[in-house]
């Protein structure tokens, strides 16, 4: 059994308490970090090959380096805990079972980037994770781990918890910042990037929950150790959310060297009822679907990419042979039509249009030109918008149709008027 | 100053210029909807994509700052294809109701579809339906189905008027512009959202359904609503009288002038033109004997005017000029007063209520040419009477001839009784103006003036900027420009001053400029379309 990092204490009923966290080595990295220079901390994270675990897989240490040198404006650390990508539920468990891991990671990251104020933007539906994290933050304040002069180090750091109101787009880095600022959750035009001009106009680093929770472990055990757990492109383990038609759905922590086949068949007990695999989405609903012959890939940042998909949020959605891919695409396209923020024209207008077409196909009213229209519209809109939402929608639009085209065509052919 | 190349042409632009403006500098149009030079960058319409050397994908020109050595192409096959895609996206849920849409003819969906779209429509599913014909305020009406959600109007209300009435509500293709609860779009500059709306979503409640825009003629002009002198265009309907109940002025639109009003005008100015085609317009000279008024020819009107002027000594004559008159009008009047040795000369009539003013465009002085009246020397001569003095003298029968230009004295702060007894006290009252009022109803001689849109001339704004307005329409009925009426009077009196022989307003201007050191060398040509400052 490989080493557990994020989920090492999940078997303990009181893993969320400060006492248990400390007993299992918690907050020792913080003490160590306070003796390190901020630049050295950032360098350690850079060397660890830690990449963003929210979806974009951007190298974390590099992101921290984007704050303009010598900027005297306040800097903010914002934790993206909006976890809205369909098929993803790891951050929920991490916050419920290991809230102090997040808090410790935040204090260390804040030291590395020179921030004294952190925000955690939590998905509105996540009531329990918010309660647990809120309790942990209170504990941390009471224990002198947050606030002024933390543990006598001279460092100040405060955490503000902010609950979202249910929009998927508020999980997009800059949509989240707009929402945090009290505005409509519209992604911001870039440049300027958040590290230059983020929340409330100040330099801001936005990191995913899990990403920041890796930081104390990297500080404690060294960048080389963390990098060594993974592949050339990405260090560490990560927590995979596996849902759908497997025998044992749930979260799985594994080194990023693990293959998709291993996750499905070894960790999750294979396809339920001994049925056959039809397709699997490797990184949340925005990732292109993979066929059964495309699952022998490492689940790091590069593996799914080699098959034209992406690791994304590592939300793995397994579909067995009972699934109608056109119906699945209809459901997914309904989601993107519903969640498009409406700011950019291509996304606003075509997500709704594509949903109408997929619905018509499923209802048996498809036309033979529909499939090519969807593909053409998706390709024309891809890469033309402010944020990556539409590119995320295009992943399923194109891959579901291109890889399972005959299923769509069968449905269209069944339309007497086609 | 970065130097870059756009479509093979070198161009140098100020630091921070975006690619839309840089292209504009060399006459290249990058089509766009959401970008407006007065507003923050939204980057939402995605239409202004251009290719930039070494950049893998087309980029939006609005949010790309020109950089040294940048090589930009706005007409590559890829850019054109992207534009066509964006046009299709913009139009898939659009109702395509051009035949009943007031924006037709000046709609950038139409213009860009014809220029850059021309694709075969593929959308066959039911369109999204949204609210239609929703009044947002006294002047603006919304059709949410036509809206392309460029957010210009929202940003305008946030960033220019700081009134924040508008927002975009809902998400995805159900997004729509609307009012925040409890708000009405009734700020003093609300009409500007109609101009910056590139499509037919926001139309003008006053103008809509009146005239098709392609029937309109356009003249450059200056708003006469206050001392700011905002640059405007007068849009007139000369050829289809049946379309607008015979009203010739269809609407006023702001005209860009960086030094005066930029892109904007206030609602009071925009909608303050109804008097021009109003039934109260004076269209024929009138001579009143006793209680009997008779329409007369100009020859007769001039004859009785000249006779009246000859009947009295200069100190028995008073001229009450108006800061609504142009510099040209006022200069001929000034020369006439000088030739007649009339020293009772003024233009100042205090309004009943002080005008509103703000720190944007609106000035408390509701006259376009107060500064010009001062520069033309419209003031009491030595021992002469000012405006209240003239009225008092008329009440006391000392002033025999009172010649009132334009003023509606009922709208002044003077007591109505005092005004009426003054009008009765003078033996001869001449009213020269555009619209009937208490004075014209009592005047012995009524001389109908052309409205400012019916003549040409200049106003000098409160900052000292001399600005030209052009003739948008012929004068109504038998009305004449004031300067022309006055020059005929001067000529009929036998005065030799060449200003009385002027045939065009420009000749009057040249005489004024020659006689006024502060205006020396200033010509219609140098004043141009954006005005010129009087010398400090």
Question: Which of the four pLDDT bands, split at 50, 70 and 90, describes residue A416?
Answer: low
**Residue A1: predicted pLDDT:** 52
Q: Given CB atoms, is A179 within the 8 Å cutoff of chain B? A: no
- Given 1.10.630.10, 3.40.1390.10, 3.40.50.720, 3.10.20.740, which CATH number is that of B3-79? 3.10.20.740
CA atoms within 13 A on the CB side of A405: 10
Average of pLDDT values for A361-366? 94
Tell me whether residue B426 is exposed, middle or buried, using C-beta atoms within 10 angstroms of its C-beta: 0 to 12, 13 to 18, 19 or more: buried
* Contact flag B173-A340 (C-beta cutoff 8 Å): yes
Residue pLDDT, tens place only, B416-436: 999 999 999 999 999 999 999
Q: Does the global pTM surpass 0.90?
A: yes
Q: Given CB atoms, is A102 within the 8 Å cutoff of chain B? A: no
Average of pLDDT values for A61-73? 94
Name chain B contacts of A369, Cβ cutoff 8 Å. 122
| Nearest residue on chain A to B148, alpha-carbon basis | A345
**Residue B244: predicted pLDDT:** 87
Name chain A contacts of B58, Cβ cutoff 8 Å. 384
Q: What is the mean pLDDT of chain A?
A: 96
- Asked whether A387 and A172 are in contact (CB, 8 A), the reply is yes
* Contact flag A384-B85 (C-beta cutoff 8 Å): yes
Q: Are β-strands B428-433 and B401-405 bridged in parallel, bridged antiparallel, or unpaired?
A: parallel
Q: Residue A3 pLDDT more than 90?
A: no
Encode burial over B20-49: b for 16+ CB neighbours within 10 A, e otherwise: bbbbbeeebebbbbbbbeebebbbbbbbbb
Backbone φ, ψ for residue B402 (5° rounding): -115, 120
Chain A: closest CA distance from residue B85 (Å): 6
Name chain B contacts of A360, Cβ cutoff 8 Å. 125
Q: Given CB atoms, is A343 within the 8 Å cutoff of chain B? A: yes
* Contact flag B46-A346 (C-beta cutoff 8 Å): yes
Backbone φ, ψ for residue A132 (5° rounding): -65, -45
- Asked whether B40 and B52 are in contact (CB, 8 A), the reply is no
For B116-262, where are the E strands, in sequence order?
A: 134-135, 140-142, 166-169, 176-179, 202-204, 217-222, 231-236, 249-254
* Contact flag B125-A357 (C-beta cutoff 8 Å): yes
The B-side interface with A (CB below 8 A) comprises 41-47, 49, 57-58, 63, 81-82, 85-86, 88-90, 92-93, 122-126, 128, 148-149, 167-168, 170-175
* Contact flag B175-A348 (C-beta cutoff 8 Å): yes
Residue spans per domain, chain B = 3-79, 98-277, 286-533
Name chain B contacts of A384, Cβ cutoff 8 Å. 46, 49, 58, 82, 85-86
Chain B: closest CA distance from residue A266 (Å): 41
**Residue A417: predicted pLDDT:** 52
User: What is the residue-wise DSSP string for B428-439?
Assistant: EEEEEESB--HH
Interface probe for B, chosen from A170, A343, A358, A367 (most Cβ of B below 10 Å), is A343
Tokens of residue A212, six digits: 């920041």
ipTM value for the complex: 0.93
Question: For the range B57-60, what are the long-range contacts, defined as Cβ-Cβ under 8 Å and sequence gap of 24 or more?
Answer: B57/A383, B58/A384, B58/B82
Question: Which of the four pLDDT bands, split at 50, 70 and 90, describes residue A115?
Answer: very high
Q: Given CB atoms, is A189 within the 8 Å cutoff of chain B? A: yes
Distance of alpha carbon B351 from the chain centroid: 22
Tell me whether residue B181 is exposed, middle or buried, using C-beta atoms within 10 angstroms of its C-beta: 0 to 12, 13 to 18, 19 or more: exposed
For B186-254, where are the E strands, in sequence order?
A: 202-204, 217-222, 231-236, 249-254
Question: For the range B14-22, what are the long-range contacts, defined as Cβ-Cβ under 8 Å and sequence gap of 24 or more?
Answer: B16/B65, B17/B65, B17/B66, B18/B61, B18/B62, B18/B63, B18/B64, B18/B65, B18/B66, B19/B48, B19/B50, B19/B61, B19/B62, B19/B64, B19/B65, B19/B66, B19/B72, B20/B48, B20/B61, B20/B62, B22/B66, B22/B72
Architecture of domain B98-277: 2-Layer Sandwich (3.30)
* Contact flag B173-A349 (C-beta cutoff 8 Å): yes
Residues A222 and B176: their CA atoms lie apart, in Å, by 52
Chain B: closest CA distance from residue A370 (Å): 9
* Contact flag A342-B174 (C-beta cutoff 8 Å): yes
Sheet (strand B465-469) strand order: B457-460, B465-469, B532-533
Chain A: closest CA distance from residue B44 (Å): 4
Q: What percent of chain B has pLDDT over 70?
A: 100
Nearest to A373 among B47, B122, B170 (CB): B122
The fold for domain B286-533 equals Rossmann fold (3.40.50)
Query: Which residue, among A25, A47, A44, A164, has the nearest Cα to A104 in the 3D structure?
Result: A25
DSSP-derived letter for residue A51 is: B
Q: Residue B246 pLDDT more than 90?
A: no
Q: Residue A414 pLDDT more than 90?
A: no
Backbone φ, ψ for residue B163 (5° rounding): -105, -20
Residues B461 and B466: their CA atoms lie apart, in Å, by 6
| Nearest residue on chain B to A334, alpha-carbon basis | B172
Tokens of residue B43, six digits: 């980057």
Residues 346-365 of chain A whose Cβ lies under 8 A from any Cβ of chain B: 346, 348-353, 356-357, 360
Residue pLDDT, tens place only, A144-194: 999 999 999 999 999 999 999 999 999 999 999 999 999 999 999 999 999
The torsion region of residue B397 among left (phi > 0), alpha (psi -120 to 50) and beta comes to left
Nearest to B63 among A189, A351, A356 (CB): A189
* Contact flag B86-A167 (C-beta cutoff 8 Å): no
DSSP-derived letter for residue A262 is: I
Interface probe for A, chosen from B32, B34, B42, B44 (most Cβ of A below 10 Å), is B44
Residue pLDDT, tens place only, B322-356: 999 999 999 999 999 999 999 999 999 999 999 99
Q: What percent of chain A has pLDDT over 70?
A: 99
- Asked whether A166 and A125 are in contact (CB, 8 A), the reply is yes
Q: A335 to each of A48, A86, A376, A402, B242, how far by Cα in Å?
A: 36, 9, 20, 20, 53
Chain B: closest CA distance from residue A75 (Å): 24
Average of pLDDT values for A84-106? 98
Residues B224 and B232: their CA atoms lie apart, in Å, by 10
Average of pLDDT values for A24-45? 96
Residue pLDDT, tens place only, B19-32: 999 999 999 999 99
* Contact flag A349-B92 (C-beta cutoff 8 Å): yes
What are the start-end ranges of the H helices in A87-185? 90-97, 99-113, 127-142, 173-180
Name chain A contacts of B92, Cβ cutoff 8 Å. 349-350, 353
* Contact flag A348-B167 (C-beta cutoff 8 Å): no
Cα dihedral B194, B195, B198, B204, rounded to 10, equals 30
In order of their start, the domains of chain A are 18-229 (3.40.50.11540), 237-320 (3.10.20.600), 325-413 (1.20.1440.230)
Interface probe for A, chosen from B33, B46, B113, B176 (most Cβ of A below 10 Å), is B46
Residue pLDDT, tens place only, B484-499: 999 999 999 999 999 9
Nearest to B44 among A167, A344, A381 (CB): A344
Residues B422 and B416: their CA atoms lie apart, in Å, by 10
Q: Residue A418 pLDDT more than 50?
A: no
Q: Given CB atoms, is A191 within the 8 Å cutoff of chain B? A: yes
Q: B152 to each of A300, B32, B193, B199, B323, how far by Cα in Å?
A: 43, 12, 8, 11, 37
Residues B215 and B207: their CA atoms lie apart, in Å, by 13
Q: Residue B94 pLDDT more than 60?
A: yes
What's the full length of chain A, in residues?
418
- Asked whether A187 and A387 are in contact (CB, 8 A), the reply is yes
Q: Given CB atoms, is A250 within the 8 Å cutoff of chain B? A: no
* Contact flag A345-B86 (C-beta cutoff 8 Å): yes
Average of pLDDT values for B207-233? 97
Q: Given CB atoms, is A285 within the 8 Å cutoff of chain B? A: no
Residues B432 and B404: their CA atoms lie apart, in Å, by 6
Backbone φ, ψ for residue B293 (5° rounding): -100, 140
Average of pLDDT values for A82-95? 98
Tokens of residue B425, six digits: 């006290």
User: What is the residue-wise DSSP string for A55-76?
Assistant: TT--BHHHHHTTSPTT--S--E
Residue pLDDT, tens place only, A265-322: 999 999 999 999 999 999 999 999 999 999 999 999 999 999 999 999 999 999 999 9
Residue pLDDT, tens place only, A127-138: 999 999 999 999
What's the full length of chain B, in residues?
536
* Contact flag B149-A383 (C-beta cutoff 8 Å): no
Name chain B contacts of A348, Cβ cutoff 8 Å. 89, 149, 172-173, 175
Residue pLDDT, tens place only, A333-354: 999 999 999 999 999 999 999 9
Average of pLDDT values for B267-281? 97
Question: Which of the four pLDDT bands, split at 50, 70 and 90, describes residue B245?
Answer: confident
Query: Which residue, among A214, A217, A42, A192, has the nearest Cα to A113 in the 3D structure?
Result: A42
Q: What percent of chain B has pLDDT over 90?
A: 97
Residues A392 and A168: their CA atoms lie apart, in Å, by 12
Q: What is the mean pLDDT of chain B?
A: 97
């Amino acid at each position: 059994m490989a080493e557990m990092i994020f989920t090492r204490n999940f078997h303990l009923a009181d893993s969320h308490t400060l006492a248990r966290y400390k007993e299992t080595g918690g907050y020792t990295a913080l003490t160590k970090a306070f003796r390190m220079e901020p630049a050295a901390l950032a360098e350690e994270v850079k060397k660890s090959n830690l990449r963003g675990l929210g979806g974009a897989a951007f190298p974390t240490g590099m992101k921290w380096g984007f704050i303009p040198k010598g900027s005297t404006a306040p800097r903010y650390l914002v934790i993206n805990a909006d976890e809205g990508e369909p098929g993803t539920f790891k951050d929920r468990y991490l916050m419920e079972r290991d809230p102090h891991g997040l808090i410790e990671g935040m204090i260390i990251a804040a030291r590395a980037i020179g921030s004294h104020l952190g925000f955690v933007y939590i998905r509105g539906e996540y009531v329990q994770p918010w309660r647990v994290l809120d309790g942990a933050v209170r504990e941390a304040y009471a224990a002198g781990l947050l606030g002024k002069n933390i543990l006598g180090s001279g460092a100040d750091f405060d955490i503000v918890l902010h609950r979202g109101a249910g929009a998927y787009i508020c999980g997009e880095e800059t949509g989240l910042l707009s929402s945090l600022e009290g505005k409509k959750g519209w992604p911001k035009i870039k440049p300027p990037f958040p590290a230059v001009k983020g929340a409330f106009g100040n330099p801001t680093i936005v990191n995913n929950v899990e990403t920041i929770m890796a930081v104390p472990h990297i500080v404690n055990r060294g960048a080389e150790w963390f990098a060594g757990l993974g592949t050339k492109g990405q260090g560490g383990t990560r927590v995979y959310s596996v849902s759908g038609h497997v025998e044992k759905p749930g979260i799985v922590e594994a080194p990023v060297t693990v293959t998709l086949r291993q996750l499905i068949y070894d960790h999750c007990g294979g396809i339920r009822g001994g049925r056959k695999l039809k397709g699997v989405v490797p990184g949340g609903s925005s990732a292109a679907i993979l066929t059964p012959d495309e699952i022998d890939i490492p689940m790091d940042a590069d593996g799914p990419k080699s098959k034209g998909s992406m690791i994304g949020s590592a939300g793995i959605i397994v579909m067995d042979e009972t699934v109608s891919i056109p119906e699945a695409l209809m459901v997914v396209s309904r989601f993107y039509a519903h969640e498009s923020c409406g700011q950019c024209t291509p996304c606003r207008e075509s997500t709704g249009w594509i949903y109408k077409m997929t619905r018509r196909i499923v209802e048996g009213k498809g036309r033979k030109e529909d499939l090519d229209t969807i593909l053409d519209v998706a390709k024309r809109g891809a890469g033309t918008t402010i944020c990556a939402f539409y590119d995320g929608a295009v992943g399923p639009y194109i891959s579901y149709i291109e890889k399972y085209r005959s299923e769509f065509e069968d449905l269209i052919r069944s339309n007497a008027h086609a | 100053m970065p130097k870059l190349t756009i479509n093979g042409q070198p161009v140098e632009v100020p630091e921070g210029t975006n690619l839309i403006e840089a292209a504009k500098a060399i006459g290249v149009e990058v089509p766009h909807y959401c970008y407006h030079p007065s507003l923050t960058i939204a980057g939402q319409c995605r239409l202004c994509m251009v290719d930039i050397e070494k950049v893998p994908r087309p980029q939006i020109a609005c949010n790309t700052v020109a950089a040294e050595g940048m090589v930009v192409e706005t007409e590559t096959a890829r850019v054109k294809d992207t534009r066509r895609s964006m046009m299709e996206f913009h139009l898939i849920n659009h109702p395509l109701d051009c035949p009943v849409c007031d924006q037709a003819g000046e709609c950038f969906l139409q213009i860009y579809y014809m220029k850059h779209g021309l694709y075969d429509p593929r959308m066959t599913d039911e369109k999204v339906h949204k609210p239609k014909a929703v009044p947002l305020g006294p002047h603006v009406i919304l059709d949410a189905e036509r809206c392309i959600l460029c957010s210009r109007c929202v940003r305008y209300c946030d960033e220019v008027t700081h009134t924040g009435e508008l927002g975009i509500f809902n998400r995805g293709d159900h997004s729509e512009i609307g009012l925040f609860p409890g708000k009405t779009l009734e700020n003093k500059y609300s009409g500007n959202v109609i101009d910056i709306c590139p499509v037919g979503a926001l139309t003008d409640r006053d103008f809509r359904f009146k005239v098709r825009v392609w029937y309109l003629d356009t003249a450059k002009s200056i708003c006469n609503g206050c001392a700011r002198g905002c640059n405007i265009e007068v849009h007139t309907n000369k050829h289809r009288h049946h379309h607008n109940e015979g009203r010739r002025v269809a609407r006023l639109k702001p005209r860009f002038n960086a030094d005066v009003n930029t892109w904007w005008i206030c609602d009071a100015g925009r909608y303050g033109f109804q008097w021009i085609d109003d039934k109260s317009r004076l269209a024929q000279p009138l001579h009143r004997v006793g209680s009997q008024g008779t329409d007369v020819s100009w020859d007769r009107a001039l004859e009785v005017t000249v006779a009246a002027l000859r009947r009295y000594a200069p100190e028995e004559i008073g001229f009450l000029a108006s800061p609504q008159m142009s510099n040209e009008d006022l200069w001929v009047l000034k020369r006439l007063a000088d030739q007649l040795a009339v020293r009772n000369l003024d233009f100042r009539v205090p309004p009943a209520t002080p005008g509103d003013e703000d720190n944007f465009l609106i000035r408390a002085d509701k006259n376009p040419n107060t500064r010009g009246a001062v520069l033309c020397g419209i003031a009491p001569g030595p021992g002469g009477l000012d405006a209240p003095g003239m009225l008092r003298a008329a009440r006391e029968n000392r002033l025999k001839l009172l010649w009132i230009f334009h003023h509606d004295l009922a709208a002044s702060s003077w007591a109505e009784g005092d005004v009426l007894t003054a009008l009765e006290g003078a033996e001869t009252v001449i009213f020269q103006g555009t619209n009937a009022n208490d004075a014209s109803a009592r005047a012995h001689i009524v001389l109908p003036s052309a409205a400012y849109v019916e003549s040409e001339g200049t106003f000098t704004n409160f900052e000292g900027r001399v600005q030209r307005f052009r003739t948008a329409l012929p004068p109504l009925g038998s009305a004449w420009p004031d300067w022309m009426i006055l020059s005929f009077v001067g000529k009929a009196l036998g005065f030799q001053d060449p200003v009385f022989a002027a045939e065009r307003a420009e000749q009057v201007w040249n005489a004024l400029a020659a006689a006024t050191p502060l205006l020396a060398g200033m010509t219609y040509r140098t004043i141009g379309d954006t005005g010129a400052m009087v010398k400090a």
